Every structure is written in C-alpha cells, then in structure tokens.
Amino acid sequence: MNIIKPQILSKGDTIEIIAPAGAVDYDLVMKSKDYIESKGYKVVFGEHIFEQERYFAGCDKHRLEDFHNAFLNPEVKAIFCARGGYGSIRFIEDINYNIVQSNPKIFCGYSDITALSLMILKHAGLITYSSPMMQSDFSDDVPNEYTEKSFFNVLSGNNEEYLSDKIINHGNTEGIIWGGNLSTVVSLCGLDFIPDEKFIFFTEDVNEPVYKIDKMLRQLINIEKFRQNISALAFGEFSGVDNPQWLEDLLSETSTLLNIPTASGFKFTHSNEKQTIPIGQKAIFDGNIKLK
C-alpha cells in the first residue's frame, strides 16, 4: 500500500468540525470551537453538523456530504470529529475514496469514528489519527492536560512513545499501527477492511462485559487475513468491564492463541486521559510502541 501522511498542523490553519455519527450538543461543540480557536487555529463547521435525525447528526446523506466537502475544501487543513456514538458505518459504502486520496489532510476521532479511519486507510491509503474529539474531550472548561499535549504534539509532527503497563508476551516485531474501538472494528466485518501488510493491533472499549469482548476478539481471529497479518497486540483500557480478572485471563489467552508479542495498559481509552496515535504509520513493538 502507498501510505500517504498528511501535512502537519500549524498555527493559523483552518480546521473543520464535522459530525459523522451521533447528534451533537450545540453548546458543548461551541465551547470546543472556542477552545480550538484559543490555541491559534481557525474553525469552521460542516453545513449539517447541528441537524438531528433520531440519534444521528442529521440524515446519512447530509453527514456524508459534510465528510466529502471537508476533504474537498482547499482552505481546510484538518478535520476534527465532534463525537462518536453511532452512524459512521451507515454511509461507509457510499464514500468516494478518490476524494479523500486526492485531498489528503488530517482526520481525527475515535470510538465510532474508528470505522471511517480504517476504511480511509484501506481504500485511500491515508494515515488518520485515533484521537480525542471536540464534544467528548475539548468542551470542558479545562481539558485534560495529558490528552491535550499528546493531541497537539502528534498533529504537529512529533513522534510519541506509547508505553504499556504490563507485558503479557515478550517479543519484538514491526508493522503499521491499526485498530481502535473494538466493537466498531468488528462492525466492519463483511467489508474489505483488514490491511494487506503486517499490523500492530491496538484496541479498547467501554462498558462491554468480558464475554462480549471475548466474542469480538474471536470474531476477528476467525478471519484468516487477520490472523496472518497481525504482528502484535496492544491492549488499551476496557473501562466499565464487569470482571477485571476475567478480562486479564482473556487478554493472556488471546496472546497465547495468536502467539505474538502482547502488552496491555496503553492509554488508548474512552476515559479522559488518552494518547493520540496515527493509524497506518509504521512502528516497532517491543512491549511498547515506537513510531518509525
């Protein structure tokens, strides 16, 4: 795959905030706009961002239009997603990936936005960022300092080291960074979404019982291409889990089953303190993750 890395974010750049998934809170998004502008950037909104249809930020057609238009707008240097929720996979097969590939730029989000990031990498070859989002993380009066620092550090072109709390299976390997929210990754099953090259699989989730985490991991492991190309496992936080010991057993069991280097405790999470990581960038895994 010919991987495209977007240009770095610089002060004065224009950022567009879009809502590809769940309906947004106007006041919170406006607070996040003020925050981003206070950092020295210009902010514009997708045309339909404040619409609502059931639990979505407008209909599928309008959310897709905002997605395409953000890439097409030559003034926009980066696209920040407002929030996750649910909705991104509803227009996945209608995306014009030629638009994305011909207009590469920073694209950020996590949770439900994982679906867009993985499909963008697969079909446009563009590195995107698993990162905090506007309503979710930058609408507080004082955003989390660690999250804020990691976000702007990575988007400004600086590499970070991603440290684990526990090595489950020792080893050294390489691959592209790939993954995100587990339940969203699994929602892509049936589509062409798994990388053709070796990848370091990072994943996390929130409020899922251990048996469901088990089922979702097995669903991926049952895909031959996933088993062939996964080179390492990087487990983030599974917050709100029902039984921490069962989870620990499951992560160890999964590592043994795949027989690959594995570590846990990375700051990939739905919690307030999270790291930004580029999906698609080459990296070394030795229990920690070092970008190449």
Q: What is the pTM of this model?
A: 0.96
* Cα distance between residue 53 and residue 156, in whole Å: 35
* Cα distance between residue 241 and residue 251, in whole Å: 13
Give the model's pLDDT for residue 61. Answer: 98
Tokens of 112: 């439900």
Helix, strand or coil, per DSSP, at residue 226:
helix
Q: Which runs of E-coded beta strand occur in the chain?
A: 14-18, 42-45, 76-81, 106-109, 128-130, 161-162, 166-169, 173-181, 199-206, 230-239, 262-264, 277-279, 282-285, 289-291
Q: What is the DSSP string of 82-124?
A: ---SS-GGGSGGG--HHHHHHS--EEEE-GGGHHHHHHHHHHH
Cβ-contact 200, 177 below 8 angstroms: yes
* Cα distance between residue 124 and residue 117, in whole Å: 10
- Phi, psi dihedral angles at 277 (to 5 degrees): -140, 140
Give the model's pLDDT for residue 1. Answer: 67
Residues in the chain predicted with pLDDT less than 50, given as ranges, are none
pLDDT digit string, tens, across residues 148-158:
999 999 999 99
Longest dimension (CA), the chain: 50
Beta-ladder partners of 76 = 14
Tokens of 175: 């691959």
Give the model's pLDDT for residue 9. Answer: 97
- Burial (CB count within 10 angstroms: exposed 0-12, middle 13-18, buried 19+), residue 268: buried
pLDDT digit string, tens, across residues 253-267:
999 999 999 999 999
Amino acid identity at 58: G
If you search the block for the tokens 């979404």, which residue do you land on? 193
Residues of the chain with CATH 3.40.50.10740: 14-155
Amino acid identity at 48: H
Give the model's pLDDT for residue 4. Answer: 97
User: 232, 178, 241, 231: which is closest to 205 by C-alpha?
Assistant: 241
Helix, strand or coil, per DSSP, at residue 191:
strand
Give the model's pLDDT for residue 224. Answer: 97
Specify the CATH superfamily of domain 14-155: Murein tetrapeptidase LD-carboxypeptidase, N-terminal domain (3.40.50.10740)
- Cα dihedral 163→165→171→172 (10° resolution): 0
Give the model's pLDDT for residue 140. Answer: 87
Residues of the chain with CATH 3.50.30.60: 161-291
Cβ-contact 226, 217 below 8 angstroms: no
Give the model's pLDDT for residue 17. Answer: 98
Q: Which CATH code is given to the segment(s) 161-291? A: 3.50.30.60
Give the model's pLDDT for residue 159. Answer: 87
* Cα distance between residue 247 and residue 228, in whole Å: 24
